[in-house]
Structure 1
Amino acid sequence: MTSQLAVSTGQHTDAGPKPVNQDFHGLVIPADHQLGTKGIAVAIADGISSSNVSHIASESAVAGFLNDYYATPDSWSVKQSAQRVLRATNAWLHAQTRQSRYRYDQDRGYVCTLSVLVLKSATAHLFHVGDARIYRLQGGSLERLTTDHRVWLSQEDSCLNRAMGLSQQVDIDYLAVPVWPGDTFLLATDGVYEHLTERDMAGIIRAAGDDPDAAARELVKRALAAGSDDNLSVQLVHVNSVAAGKSSDEVARDVQQLPFARELAPGQVLDGYRIVRPIHASSRSQVYLAIDDASHQQVALKVPAMELRENPSGLEQFATEQWVAQRIDSPHVVKAFAPERPRSCLYLATEYVQGISLRQWLLDHPAPALETVRQLVEQIARGLRAFHRLEMVHQDLKPENILINGEGTVVLIDFGATRIAGLQELHDHDEPTWPRGAALYSPPEAFLGETTGWQADQFSLGVIAYQMLTGQLPYGTRIPGIRNHRQLRQLRYHPARLHREDLPAWIDHALARALHPEPHKRYPALSEFLFDLRQPNPQWQQHHQKPLMERHPVAFWQGMSALLLLALLASFAWRP
């Protein structure tokens, strides 16, 4: 199987008996790395006959999607990228109608149907609004993959109940199906499929053989001959080959194909980097301080350990790390150092952060002030949000992977365990069923074989915040032993105030929620966790209101005295 997706395409459109063709279609096959990271996009739109500007809507919807989809971050999944672009396009079309003379008559505004097919790796992603259709020809039979968003008022009359631009919000049907070499996808407007049976369309496509353009023209011709009185548009995509499941070279710039670096020593020069001294060594990698001879900048040069030579998964993670570093732009995430020159072996060059690790900081500050911890946690969270905005999960947040430079700025490093939604679609193998990060900082769901989301980073951040405040772990060492949900439910959070009495009581409410064993019960956003670290959550205040005697002792005793006086007077009044 080839490592690259390859297709043959054909398309044809005709106005039919109408004076204006309100259909519009388009297709993009990238010639660069985006073929692997974004895939091939096909789009077809159909205007509504009641509108004189619907052809503008069709063209805008198709052209806008094909332009904007490829401008989204490569790390985003196809689903996230396409849905965000489609919703933005829908909002723009609706706004055009609201600003036009048709603002009180949406049936005459900027409205159209839109169906999109994105082929990436070995998967077809379908996005559908309206009544254009997407079919798949497989094994000689034609299968419809979309559902028409049309309501029939009578045998002759119908109307769309969902379309682009029809309202400010739009519901988008989404479907993902596996793709095999030999599959053919057909996109068609109602001017075609309402006048040809599925058997007829399948026969025409098969008869055309290796000429999808001829098949598209014949489909339109036969529909016209059958009495079609509408615009007619057809797109055909025949899959010649799909990307191999293990192919990540397009994503990681082929670095995993490079040889291992020889043993490095101070004074050696590697591709223009002069080695100064070792910084760190582990079972996965060695890190060296080096000087770039061209710019005289200090860099951190990371090379994989020899143990990874027979570990394809470990090498893939190492290759992914450079890909991540080049795409995140945040003062709290280490930046890749990537001059334009060829590499002779496998390594990762990043900016050198002169400072100490959070692990060393913990040793130097056994009982830090709460405000100091808040400031550090907030900086770590800003770094994590840079990952989450690109639909990445760091997955290996621990004190050793957090550096603090001389100005007190926190910088996250080591992205080998990062989970990237956009790259997951390139692989047909399952995610590993064990944590990719440090066990004591990984969330419980990672030990149950569940896919971790961004809430996993929130849990790790909670562990680090707890450890900075107390020097302890919130669940001790029990989490790595979790193997089933019964053990998960038995986990009990150890309040931080058991280790530090000077902490406010409401701090434990914030920490306990961020550290909840079940991810859906943690904070819905990191910002809410940070907010609760600075002031009591209203929910906590309602359940932990101080008694009146503590809040207002003078008022309490005045009230008690008044009650006693009333009781005394009442006793005198009832004496015989």
Structure 2
Amino acid sequence: MLPGSSLQVSIGQHSTAGRKAFNQDSFGAYLPKEPELSNKGIVLAVADGISTSTVSQIASDTAVKSFLADYYCTSEAWSVPHAALQVLKACHNWLYAQNRNGPFSSDPDKGYVCTFSALILKQRHAHLLHVGDSRIYLLRHQQLEQLTRDHRLWRGSSSFLSQALGSGAVLEPDYQSMALQQGDLFLLATDGLFEVLPASELIRLLGSEADLSLLALQLTEAALAAGSKDNITLQLVRIDGLPAENNLPLCLDQHLALPPLLQQGDMLDGLQVIRAIQQSSRSHVYLMQDKTTEQLLVLKAPSIDLAEQPDYLERLMREEWIAKRVTSNHVVRPASINKPRTALYTLFEYVEGQTLKQWQLDHPTPTLEQVRSIIEQLGKGLQALHRSEILHQDIRPDNLIITPQGIVKIIDFGAARLAGLQADDEVAGDIPGTALYTAPEYFLGVAGSERSDLYSLAVLTYQLLSGRYPYGADVARAKSIKAQRKLRYQSVFNKNSELPIWLDLTLEKALQVDPNKRYQALSEFLYDLRHPNAEFQKPLSLIERHPLWFWQCLCVGQALIILWLIAARS
């Protein structure tokens, strides 16, 4: 077959529990269409749950599914190894957290642990990632080579895994890359296959059948006949055609430069600058038009001054990954173009409308119903993020857009945190978000939770209704538990307030300094914004209902008593 415009492969796969009661293996493959095929490549992955655990099948299934889904959500500007290692590390940290915080903390070998091997075929190269003792082989010119090494330590006649997903705080997966040749045949397999079939038998079988699906079944049957007592899972992929060298797009595995400051009319990767939306010391945001599709897009590029800050650049490029994981009408969508990127930037859909900050200037005294509508829509967006295990951490008016149709969208993920990558992002003294909207626990150096986003949403509700903040600026200065205990919630009411009394109690609960005393779910808070909670139906005292009026009357009364006493003495 002559070189074509894109990579061409054949795939076969099979998995069976074998002689065991249930199958702890998992496998998956994804063959995308262009331009994703050239930009991200083809992925195959296999995982093997350890036999000492009754839940390791969940670990292997989670590892394969999350790797396949998340890898294609990563930025096109990331290299294959960088994107793949980030995704694999996130999966490992998540599994490890389940073991550490769950019933398997004292015996992780009974928890969410599995081996993992992945093969990524992009353009004319193969990329391999490996943890544990599943294997990847290559048959080339009738020579079989084991490309991965077993992460296994032997003590006498017994052995144990030295590395596995979900086991241990630190993950150090093996990675390698190699040039592809037409006719290469890769085999990904769990130990139920290769422990009973010697290399000579594998070579004979691999050359006996052209139909890879049938070949996968024949290999499985051969392993069972040879006495395999374990689960058997294998994947086969043959390179049928390679893209011609002159058809390859710019290799994104190389370091991309930061784009220069752009002016109206400038071109970048087929996109023309319409105007600058925002310029700051950290980033430059532009309204762009794709000259091929005429679609309007928003390009966000890092400031040139931050070119030597890899942590910041990493977080910026992660914004696309985060957005791609979420499907919600209230979360901005990432965008893509049919051209390789020549510079480092993120690309999102353009949402016509105004920021909530501008909307507030136009509506200084919004009605309760207007506020409810905004908060309920934002709540749906946050719930979508939380379902994908993402904390936003920076809910504030500047990061929200209201369209002419009244739809509210979250548009910025600069402070967002993805589950499994928290430890890498922790920086001493680094408080995510904006102080007036940031949950108190962040100022203690405690990691945030979904209740932290709930707090920020409640602050926004309070501010929309009153123009004030529940603790003023004091919350940012309270950096110890002792200081935070002195914080006092200020009622949302003022002397002209017509808000229902129970609404203030709803906000007070959502804005508790201690996250354990807040609502435990966003849905509870959103429901209570419209429905009086029976918990709050106890009658309020005069000072609770009208605190300002109460103290004004008390002062007037005291003054009258003093005047009366003075008059009585004279």
Aligned equivalent of 1:532: 528
**Based on CA coordinates, which of the two structures has the bigger radius of gyration?**
1
Match of 2:450 among 450, 454, 461: 454
C-alpha distance after superposition, 1:249-281 (max 9, x if no partner): xxxx96993111111111111111111111112
Distance 2:130 2:484 in 1: 36
Aligned equivalent of 1:573: none
Alignment of 1:41 onto 2:47: yes
Alignment of 1:137 onto 2:153: yes
Distance 1:351 1:323 in 2: 14
Kept in 1, the 8 Å contact 2:278–2:286? The answer is yes
Alignment of 1:332 onto 2:348: no
Q: Aligned AA for 2:304?
A: M
Kept in 2, the 8 Å contact 1:462–1:511? The answer is yes
Kept in 2, the 8 Å contact 1:216–1:234? The answer is no
C-alpha distance after superposition, 1:499-549 (max 9, x if no partner): 652111111111111111111221111111111111211100146599xxx
Query: 1:41, CA displacement in angstroms?
Result: 2.2
User: Residues 486 and 255 of structure 1: is their aligned pair in 2 closer, same or farther, counting only changes over 3 Å?
Assistant: farther
Alignment of 1:314 onto 2:316: no
User: Residues 536 and 141 of structure 1: is their aligned pair in 2 closer, same or farther, counting only changes over 3 Å?
Assistant: farther
Structure-to-structure mapping, 1:35-434, within 5 angstroms = 41-43=47-49, 77=91, 116-118=113-115, 137=153, 176-179=168-171, 216=195, 232-233=229-230, 257-424=255-422, 427=424, 430=426, 432-434=428-430
Moved more, 299-308 or 463-472: 299-308
C-alpha distance after superposition, 1:185-216 (max 9, x if no partner): xxxxxxxxxxxxxxxxxxxxxxxxxxx99994
Query: 1:142, CA displacement in angstroms?
Result: 6.4
Kept in 2, the 8 Å contact 1:497–1:503? The answer is yes
TM-score (norm: length of structure 2): 0.59
Aligned equivalent of 1:87: none
User: Residues 499 and 137 of structure 1: is their aligned pair in 2 closer, same or farther, counting only changes over 3 Å?
Assistant: farther
Query: 1:27, CA displacement in angstroms?
Result: 6.3
Kept in 1, the 8 Å contact 2:63–2:91? The answer is no
Aligned equivalent of 1:488: 484
Q: Aligned AA for 2:523?
A: S
User: Residues 390 and 118 of structure 1: is their aligned pair in 2 closer, same or farther, counting only changes over 3 Å?
Assistant: farther
Kept in 1, the 8 Å contact 2:275–2:288? The answer is yes
Distance 2:528 2:503 in 1: 8
Query: 1:178, CA displacement in angstroms?
Result: 3.6
Query: 1:43, CA displacement in angstroms?
Result: 2.4
Match of 1:463 among 434, 459, 462: 459
Q: CA RMSD in A?
A: 4.7
**1:338 aligned counterpart, secondary structure:** coil
Query: 1:67, CA displacement in angstroms?
Result: 6.6
Q: Aligned AA for 1:363?
A: L
Kept in 1, the 8 Å contact 2:289–2:295? The answer is yes
Q: Which runs of 4+ in 1 moved over 6 A?
A: 29-35, 37-40, 60-67, 79-84, 120-124, 138-145, 212-215, 253-256
Q: Aligned AA for 1:516?
A: Q
Query: 1:325, CA displacement in angstroms?
Result: 2.2
Kept in 2, the 8 Å contact 1:448–1:484? The answer is yes
Q: Aligned AA for 2:48?
A: V
Distance 1:417 1:296 in 2: 31
Kept in 1, the 8 Å contact 2:196–2:228? The answer is no
C-alpha distance after superposition, 1:71-128 (max 9, x if no partner): 66678845868999xxxxxxxxxxxxxxxxxxxxxxxxxxxx998514599998xxxx
Distance 1:469 1:256 in 2: 50
Query: 1:443, CA displacement in angstroms?
Result: 0.7
Extract unaligned runs of 5+ from structure 2: 1-15, 32-38, 72-86, 99-109, 118-128, 133-150, 175-190, 198-226, 233-250, 543-570
Q: Aligned AA for 1:276?
A: I
User: Residues 408 and 430 of structure 1: is their aligned pair in 2 closer, same or farther, counting only changes over 3 Å?
Assistant: closer
Kept in 2, the 8 Å contact 1:334–1:413? The answer is yes
Distance 1:509 1:141 in 2: 66
Alignment of 1:502 onto 2:505: no
Distance 1:122 1:351 in 2: 36
C-alpha distance after superposition, 1:555-576 (max 9, x if no partner): xxxxxxxxxxxxxxxxxxxxxx
Kept in 2, the 8 Å contact 1:26–1:44? The answer is no
C-alpha distance after superposition, 1:393-416 (max 9, x if no partner): 011111000011111110111111
User: Residues 338 and 303 of structure 1: is their aligned pair in 2 closer, same or farther, counting only changes over 3 Å?
Assistant: same
Kept in 2, the 8 Å contact 1:23–1:46? The answer is no
Distance 1:123 1:479 in 2: 45
Kept in 2, the 8 Å contact 1:24–1:62? The answer is no
User: Residues 140 and 346 of structure 1: is their aligned pair in 2 closer, same or farther, counting only changes over 3 Å?
Assistant: farther
TM-score (norm: length of structure 1): 0.59
Q: Aligned AA for 2:293?
A: S
Percent identical across equivalent pairs? 35
Extract unaligned runs of 5+ from structure 1: 1-12, 48-56, 85-112, 125-134, 146-173, 183-211, 219-229, 236-252, 547-576
Match of 1:518 among 505, 514, 518: 514
Kept in 2, the 8 Å contact 1:256–1:346? The answer is no
Kept in 2, the 8 Å contact 1:358–1:403? The answer is yes
Distance 2:173 2:350 in 1: 46
User: Residues 476 and 233 of structure 1: is their aligned pair in 2 closer, same or farther, counting only changes over 3 Å?
Assistant: same
Distance 2:422 2:400 in 1: 26
